[in-house]
Amino acid sequence: MTDAAHMPGTMPNAYQPGKGNLSKADQDLVARRQRALGPAYRLFYETPVHLVRGEGVWLYDKGGRAYLDTYNNVASVGHCHPHVVAAMARQAGVLASHTRYLHEGVLAYAERLLGHFPAELSHVMFTCTGSEANDLAFRIARAHTGGTGFIVTENAYHGVTYAIAGMSPSLGSGVDLGEHVRVVPAPRTGGETGAEFAAGVLTAIRDMQRHGIKPAALIVDTVFSSDGVFADPAGFLAPAVAAIRAAGGLFIADEVQPGFGRTGAAMWGFQRHNVLPDMVSLGKPMGNGYPVAGLVMQPRVIEVFGAKARYFNTFGGNAVAAATAMAVLEVIEGEGLQANCAKVGAAFAEGLRGLAKGHAALGELRAVGLFLGQDIVDGEARPDAARAGWIVNRLREEGVLISATGPKGHVLKIRPPMVFSVENVAFFLDRLERVLKAG
């Protein structure tokens, strides 16, 4: 299936308007979207899914069909978790105001959140989105270092503001990278992963210096989600972090996707590498769907910025955001979801490896907790984006939602709500096997 090659930077699993097998009613919805929302919006799937309800790891479409959600990490403690919904509704009925008045809720949450970090990371600032958190990190890194150079991986995604889209090569060649942004190769399985990755970072630093650009920071998603999921060997990030620090730059850990326990062994992806970031950005799963995000930092990095600038995010850290995020943290702790990610993730990886023995399309698997990247390959073990897309769409027909990622679009991205169970894994594997047998 490699004839339909993946175009770098195009979105895997994007709906092609006019195609698919939509009902008349859903065709009307698509037409209404095109009229009202315009051409920059994308839908998932050959035939988009029309959702009406979610509960736990299940999503339901208009016709009442259930889909096992093996993709959406935003609803990290399960779709519509009653404890989170109740906390949000309760606070919204009492007070929703902002951080320029004193309020205990935002402090109680800030302190509880910071309790999950190494002691050095002792400040947090609240935003509404991971994009805003990374954009704030960008501003703080510039202020602290006096530098302007940023290093990102080749298929990184860090957000959609102007500055951060310019640090997100996965958005494709239609989105210019920032003038002082340098792109380095993603980590690679096998060989000297840590030394090779650090060598790429060093090359970028030298190129910056050769152009008179002072390095400001290296920023990575700590499981390299959009590069295709790279978490092993544990510790491989350390030499690259040392390299950017030696050049006067900061290390920013983007935990928007890996954070809040998903990697199983720890609360944050950076902990797998035994490195201490200068800043850590948080987002998607923080409010289980409520728009709340944040940036955790070592106090010294905010000194210059805080002295010369103020930062006010109208909705960031408002009383409802704090109450909702607190409820999410309570569920992660109370239901033992980090441990669940470790246990169920291990079963998931084992199951996929078992299935791979009978199906050559399943290439390398990279997994850490409930974050799995499964390469799909052709008969000669080459990346096969078309087959990956085909699998994603057949799984949708079988009632399972995932997507594809990676610079070649051939990596199945598996990232379910953290309440996923071993029974859910069995369901997924059964459906995947069915699809692979049909292909």
Exactly one of 79, 180, 366, 394 binds its own copies (CB under 8 A); that residue is 79
Please count the residues of this chain forming the interface with its own copies, following the rule CB under 8 A. 101
Chain positions 143 to 162 lying near its own copies, rule: CB under 8 A, are 160-162
Exactly one of 12, 26, 326, 348 binds its own copies (CB under 8 A); that residue is 26
* 172: contact with its own copies by CB under 8 A: yes
Exactly one of 297, 331, 402, 414 binds its own copies (CB under 8 A); that residue is 297
Residues in the chain: 439
Q: Using CA atoms, how far apart are residues 95 and 387, in angstroms rounded to an integer?
A: 50
* 271: contact with its own copies by CB under 8 A: no
- Cα–Cα–Cα angle for 421, 189, 185, nearest 5°? 115
Exactly one of 104, 190, 212, 379 binds its own copies (CB under 8 A); that residue is 104
In this structure, what token pair is assigned to residue 281?
């950005």
Using the contact rule CB under 8 A, the part of the chain among 72-80, 212-220, 261-269, 413-421 near its own copies is 72-80
Exactly one of 3, 24, 101, 380 binds its own copies (CB under 8 A); that residue is 101
* 119: contact with its own copies by CB under 8 A: no
Q: Using CA atoms, how far apart are residues 167 and 138, in angstroms rounded to an integer?
A: 10
Chain positions 203 to 222 lying near its own copies, rule: CB under 8 A, are none
CA dist 185 → 26, 148, 174 (Å)? 41, 20, 20
CA dist 3 → 138, 358, 383, 408 (Å)? 40, 24, 12, 13
* 65: contact with its own copies by CB under 8 A: no
CB nearer to its own copies: give 121 or 204.
121
Minimum distance from residue 14 beta carbon to its own copies (Å)? 8
Alpha helices (H) along 287-384: 299-308, 319-334, 337-356
Question: Is residue 174 within 8 Å of residue 7, measured between CB atoms?
Answer: no
Using the contact rule CB under 8 A, the part of the chain among 229-237, 247-255, 260-268, 307-315 near its own copies is 307-315
* 326: contact with its own copies by CB under 8 A: no
Q: Which of 310, 302, 312 is nearest to 280 (CA)?
A: 302
Q: Using CA atoms, how far apart are residues 46 and 26, in angstroms rounded to an integer?
A: 13
CB nearer to its own copies: give 76 or 193.
76
Chain positions 365 to 384 lying near its own copies, rule: CB under 8 A, are none
